[in-house]
Amino acid sequence: KAGVTQTPRYLIKTRGQQVTLSCSPISGHRSVSWYQQTPGQGLQFLFEYFSETQRNKGNFPGRFSGRQFSNSRSEMNVSTLELGDSALYLCASSLGTIRLETQYFGPGTRLLVL
Amino acid sequence: TQLLEQSPQFLSIQEGENLTVYCNSSSVFSSLQWYRQEPGEGPVLLVTVVTGGEVKKLKRLTFQFGDARKDSSLHITAAQPGDTGLYLCAGGTGANNLFFGTGTRLTVIP
């Protein structure tokens, strides 16, 4: 079974631009969660999508948004990029139907904002 | 915001030594998970503990959830170079979002 894939793996943008990251979950998984990982703040939850609906949301500004498609693939968008948005963005997939189920993480997209 | 503090932040030990990593919070969690992350990869789940006082053993790794479900520890016996990585604890609140700890970067020197 293929794991969680994220594209692109690396990205360089400049301040003010916007960026879209993509995540393809494990086949059969309907929940996709997004996390931001930085050296200073660690791993922080952005949001979770389940069956094309945002089910949970972390404490990030509205510049961070996402969506999920009918095939469970998910995209995350960051508008008006700031230097502090430089981070490793991780997505994780799970079945999404029961509590405490294992989340499987992708390798991440490393975003550098100049 | 539910904060999880891990200690130590960095740990460098010789192969064969034992070590303990701590994860502490002032918040109560319904579950506590431990992950290991290697460079260029996402975190990989090691264990989930859900009951206060619970102890789980996975070969050389022993995980404990505090009685009050606010803290946890990870003990590794006879560490090996393959144990090198970033260890993360994560608290669950029942929803499918996790609050991650600050991380412990472990290096095991052959």
Q: What is the CATH number of the domain that holds B51?
A: 2.60.40.10
* Residue for token pair 């993509």: A22
Per CB distance under 8 Å, which residues of B are interface residues toward A? 1, 30-31, 40-45, 48, 50, 88, 90, 92, 94-103
Average pLDDT over chain A reads 93
Residue B1 has pLDDT above 60, yes or no: no
* Alpha-carbon distances of B101 from A8, A112, B24, B34, B49, rounded to whole Å: 26, 23, 8, 9, 15
The pLDDT value given to residue A101: 72
- pLDDT tens, position by position, A31-67: 999 999 998 888 999 999 999 999 989 999 999 999 9
- CB burial class (10 A; 0-12, 13-18, 19+) of residue B102? middle
What CA–CA distance (Å, rounded) separates B24 from A11? 35
- pLDDT surpassing 60 at residue B110: yes
The domain in which residue B29 lies consists of 5-109
pLDDT tens track for B29-64: 888 999 999 988 999 999 999 889 999 999 999 999
Q: Which chain B residues contact residue A29 at CB under 8 A?
A: none
| Cβ–Cβ under 8 Å, residues A32 and A68 | yes
One-letter amino acid at A112 equals L
CA angle A86, A88, A17 (to 5 degrees): 40
Find the residue in A nearest to B36 (Cα): A105
| Residue from the list A4, A44, A48 with its beta carbon closest to the beta carbon of B96 | A48
B78 three-class SS:
coil
b/e per residue A24-49 (b: at least 16 CB within 10 A): bbbeebbbbbbbbbeeeebbbbbbbb
Q: Report residue A84 as tokens.
A: 């502090």
Per-residue pLDDT band for A102 (boundaries 50, 70, 90) equals confident
Contact A48 B41 (CB under 8 A): no
Residue (of B68, B55, B64, B88) closest to B28 by Cα position: B68
Task: Count the domains in chain B.
Answer: 1
Query: Of A23, A39, A41, which is closest to residue A31 (Cα–Cα)?
Result: A23
Residues of B in contact with A42 (CB under 8 A): 88, 100-103
DSSP SS3 for B16: coil
**Locus of tokens 């990982």:** A37
Q: How far apart are CA B35 and CA B98, in angstroms?
A: 12
Q: What percent of chain B has pLDDT over 70?
A: 96
